[in-house]
A and B are shown apart, each in its own frame.
Chain A
């Protein structure tokens, strides 16, 4: 029987395009020290570390060992996890497993990326199959754009609908001092007028490349309550992978991995009506059209109902279910940290530490991860200890 586990502290860097003042290890250290300070622990109190990034992005291929002076991992158990876009949620879920297993009481989860050091698109292209896909594949943006093209054709969604999602993310980011796009608001027209990168995705529809790190401290029942006045309890998590041939994922259907993962996690957490039952969601939405289609996969609204749900303001701050108070992935994308930031931000909301981006009285929060060949992670946190 798994032990109950809670998040008791989080830390993150002030995310930027290019952090020339720190190397990767020093950047990791900033997030780690902030997470430890948040729960008033020292490195001595940490029993094990799970760390993740896309190591071939920076071409530093033994990141778990290379990073110890920043992660605090000298003479501690360390496990590295690398799963593409979901790296951060995989790190969170692996850290959860460490504690839930009963083997460790306090585990530090770290995600980071220094995108400025890499050719991100070139590195992502090498994630595609070298025989069949690499010749025509051109990285994350056109891959996502194909999904958008099929969704638009099926439901009549428009570039303006997508821009409304981008507007929400960028507006929310102005409340988050850590966000890469903090201090850089955009209007709907500016998003619509931004350059076309890969039809139908424009510059205003897509996430940035960010240097940043995030750290989250997980603790076992019996420990967590003593260390945090209001721990964020892990209520459920779930992982689903699709068949990894690009062509075996049919863009004309919903995002099946997210449908499956969310339904399993909802059942475990007792979620019946997600748009009503969650107070807040930190969703891995790497581009604007995902904010239309993937909320359908999550069951916030019926298939094709995404645009109306967005225009009605249900996902804005103060709406039925506030989505991405942090500004989301489209405002900060330090790839190995990105999905861990969703978990951290959901925990921040449950712990009531969100300051200007806080949603009032959060009891249940949803976080998701997304990666590579259309796979999905779901992570649910709550104020009350799970049954």
Chain B
């Protein structure tokens, strides 16, 4: 047999919506952003560490947590990357706008790291260790999700 033209088939562009439960403490996190434009973390009764976003379980200690800790909208960059390649966002089905900066931020008063977007895409103007502040959506535009934080901006002297 001579080699035929090698064919492929393509799936149709089907949507498969999911609905995820945020839970009590996560819901509180978004409520606190809407009402007071601040963050809330949670302290583990065993290791004493404050984790944000707040969740019910400390995975390291395997303990339930219930002590909420209120945190200011400021922190320090611990790591970052400037995303420069286009890809289809599976959450929206549309191409994620690039470049954008994916940032790891230690919020003041937290022991772990919070990931979000930093609005600086020039590699010469961003460094690990810089101070950042959260910029929130207008309250009447908030939807109770992670995009209620628009981004973090670098605090320049």
B35: interface (CB < 8 Å): no
Docked-complex contact B82 and A198, CB < 8 angstroms: yes
Number of residues from B at the complex interface, CB < 8 A: 44
Q: Which of A90-98, A145-153, A257-265 contacts B (4 or more CB under 8 A)?
A: A145-153
Docked-complex contact A244 and B59, CB < 8 angstroms: yes
Docked-complex contact B6 and A146, CB < 8 angstroms: no
Q: Which of A124-132, A208-216, A303-311, A360-368 contacts B (4 or more CB under 8 A)?
A: A124-132
Docked-complex contact B123 and A197, CB < 8 angstroms: no
Docked-complex contact B102 and A125, CB < 8 angstroms: no
Docked-complex contact A126 and B90, CB < 8 angstroms: yes
Q: A130-B20, A138-B96, A153-B129 are in contact. Are A246 and B83 (CB under 8 A)?
A: no
> In the complex, what distance in Å separates the CA atom of A197 from the CA atom of B117?
17
Docked-complex contact B115 and A20, CB < 8 angstroms: no
**Centre residue among B20, B89, B90, B127 by max chain A CB count within 10 A:** B90
Docked-complex contact B90 and A20, CB < 8 angstroms: no
Docked-complex contact A199 and B104, CB < 8 angstroms: no
Q: Which of A131, A141, A147, A249 contacts B22 (CB 8 A)?
A: A131
Docked-complex contact A150 and B128, CB < 8 angstroms: yes
Q: A247-B112, A252-B78 are in contact. Are A146 and B88 (CB under 8 A)?
A: no
Place the interface of chain A in its size category.
35 or more
Q: How far in angstroms is the closest Cβ of chain A from B3?
A: 8
Q: How far in angstroms is the closest Cβ of chain B from A81?
A: 22
Q: CB within 8 Å of A: which of B76-99?
A: 78-85, 87-91, 96
Docked-complex contact B81 and A145, CB < 8 angstroms: yes
Docked-complex contact A137 and B59, CB < 8 angstroms: no
A250: interface (CB < 8 Å): yes
Q: Which residue of B lies closest to A147 (CB)?
A: B79
Docked-complex contact B115 and A247, CB < 8 angstroms: yes
- In addition to A146-B81, A198-B83, 13 A-B residue pairs with Cβ atoms within 8 Å of each other are A125-B87, A130-B18, A131-B26, A132-B115, A135-B117, A136-B102, A136-B103, A141-B83, A142-B81, A153-B129, A199-B123, A250-B112, A250-B113
Pick 21 A–B contacts, CB within 8 A, sort by A. Answer: A119-B90, A122-B89, A123-B90, A131-B146, A134-B91, A135-B116, A136-B116, A138-B102, A142-B81, A145-B102, A150-B128, A196-B82, A198-B83, A198-B84, A199-B81, A199-B123, A245-B51, A245-B112, A248-B60, A251-B79, A252-B79
